[in-house]
Amino acid sequence: MEMFLKSCRNVLKGNAEGSPEFHVVLGNEACDLDSMVSALAYAYFLSKTLDSGKIPLPVLNIPRQEFPLRTDNAFLLRESGLSQDDLVFRDEVDLGSLHRAGRLDLTLVDHNVLPSSDRDLEEAVVEVIDHHLLERKPSPSCPVTMETVGSCTTLVTERIIQKAPEVLDQQVAQLLYGTIVLDCVNMAPEAGKVTPKDSQYAVLLETRFPNLPPRGVLFQSLQNAKFDVSGLTTEQMLLKDMKVASERDLKLAVSVIYMTLEAFLQRQSLQQELCEFCHKHSYNLVVAMTISFKDNKEPFRQLAVYSSSTLYREEMSQALEQARNPSLILSPMSSPYSDIKAYLQGNTLASRKKVLPIIKDFLRDRERSAVHCGNLEESYEAPRQRACTEDAGIEEDSHFPPTPMNSLVEGCPLDNGLPKISAEALTEKFSNMASQEENAGGH
């Protein structure tokens, strides 16, 4: 694996003859451990089995500067004897240029659809291996391996063992094994992540490579590394494990936060920092899903919705509260901030993998509603978002309901052409009402 990764870096530096073609294996934009190891292991597998003449290249789908935030990724690499200096990151290779030049094949691992920012690469996708809800439309030119196991790495392990078991060595096995164990919460059934297939391949790796670290020790080390957020800013905590969803005017970040929501809400100036984060990265809304574990097995989940726009915040919160597939069983919690709605999540098995489809359905429903409105589309104006200030407390549209239309207001759609009431008549009417109230109070 080490020599393979170094050769990939050398090719990218221009140390290859001509204009090589690439078969890129790309993980999702969260670049969690599952995404990283799936990309590395499957590209390595292709380097031993692919005969198309294209160079297999694993690409981590984040900028290099964000990698130190993936503390569990960095830990497992070190423990497996690999250097992050040999990795290739998204900001180091121009996939768009390769595709336009006809030099790119693309395999997606740990996700099955490209985000809107990468839609131009869709024609290059030749294969998908994933364990999330299938959103991709069937295509004869793109085989899809999709099974809702606990870890995408399980499916990559299965492919390697079935097609080229000789590719496995101690180093590759440790990467695969550590990821399966972490994703499946030490294979504990009560965590609701592990499936029989995950267990099957974890045991197979243990049997074939008896010198792998003990399961419990490896899990605890990875878990400690993953939950180490000491010294991180709010922005870094949000970026550490984040996915993005967008449709039309609304772009939102869905971040997993590795602490309790109470601790997260106690961060100094949190609302201002969330506001600045949204402005910097052009998000309208943030959904923060906090996770901690009871006795290192059973997950404890809470959820927060932030937006400086009341409309976005209320719409998203309502969609999550009313979700039925699955039901999140949300119970409101006290929040010290006007722009943050907080919840206890009763359905502790509903990870982000299961919440993201709810959010994407919500976005599609908004889009369909906008299209259904037809001529309202052009005149639509997105809700204004407040500038970030120290108090960040009162938003122009946050605490005052819109003035209701009624039969006394000019332009009411119910007046049907009836004569308008003058300002003088309105004044006289309210004066009479006040007098009547005074007389009633005197009795």
CB 248 within 8 A of CB 220: no
Task: Pick the more confident residue, 403 or 57.
Answer: 57
Of all residues in the chain, the percent with pLDDT exceeding 90 is 74
The whole-number pLDDT of residue 190 equals: 87
Q: Which pLDDT band holds residue 67 (cuts at 50, 70, 90)?
A: very high
Q: Which pLDDT band holds residue 374 (cuts at 50, 70, 90)?
A: low
The whole-number pLDDT of residue 293 equals: 84
CB 86 within 8 A of CB 10: no
| Average pLDDT of the residues in 413-422 | 40
The whole-number pLDDT of residue 397 equals: 39
The whole-number pLDDT of residue 372 equals: 67
Q: Which pLDDT band holds residue 183 (cuts at 50, 70, 90)?
A: very high
| Average pLDDT of the residues in 128-136 | 95
| Average pLDDT of the residues in 29-37 | 97
Q: Which pLDDT band holds residue 96 (cuts at 50, 70, 90)?
A: very high
The whole-number pLDDT of residue 79 equals: 96
Task: Pick the more confident residue, 226 or 440.
Answer: 226
Q: Does pLDDT of 69 surpass 50?
A: yes
| Average pLDDT of the residues in 16-43 | 92
Of all residues in the chain, the percent with pLDDT exceeding 70 is 83
- Candidate from 10-19, 66-75, 375-384 with smallest mean pLDDT: 375-384
pLDDT digits (tens, 9 = 90+) for 322-363: 999 999 999 999 999 999 999 999 999 999 999 999 999 999
Mean pLDDT taken over the chain: 87
Q: Which pLDDT band holds residue 296 (cuts at 50, 70, 90)?
A: low
- The whole-model pTM stands at 0.81
CB 24 within 8 A of CB 57: yes
Q: Does pLDDT of 18 surpass 90?
A: no
pLDDT digits (tens, 9 = 90+) for 195-240: 999 999 999 999 999 999 999 999 999 999 999 998 899 999 999 9
Q: Does pLDDT of 181 surpass 90?
A: yes
Q: Does pLDDT of 61 surpass 90?
A: yes
Task: Pick the more confident residue, 370 or 27.
Answer: 27
- Nearest CA among 373, 76, 34, 45 for reference residue 198: 34
- Candidate from 116-125, 266-275, 385-394 with smallest mean pLDDT: 385-394
The whole-number pLDDT of residue 94 equals: 95
Q: What is the Cα–Cα distance from 70 to 58, expressed in whole angstroms?
A: 17
The whole-number pLDDT of residue 393 equals: 44
- Candidate from 30-44, 187-201, 375-389 with smallest mean pLDDT: 375-389
| Average pLDDT of the residues in 123-138 | 95
The whole-number pLDDT of residue 382 equals: 57
Q: Which pLDDT band holds residue 383 (cuts at 50, 70, 90)?
A: low
CB 125 within 8 A of CB 175: no
Q: What is the Cα–Cα distance from 203 to 211, expressed in whole angstroms?
A: 13
The whole-number pLDDT of residue 384 equals: 61
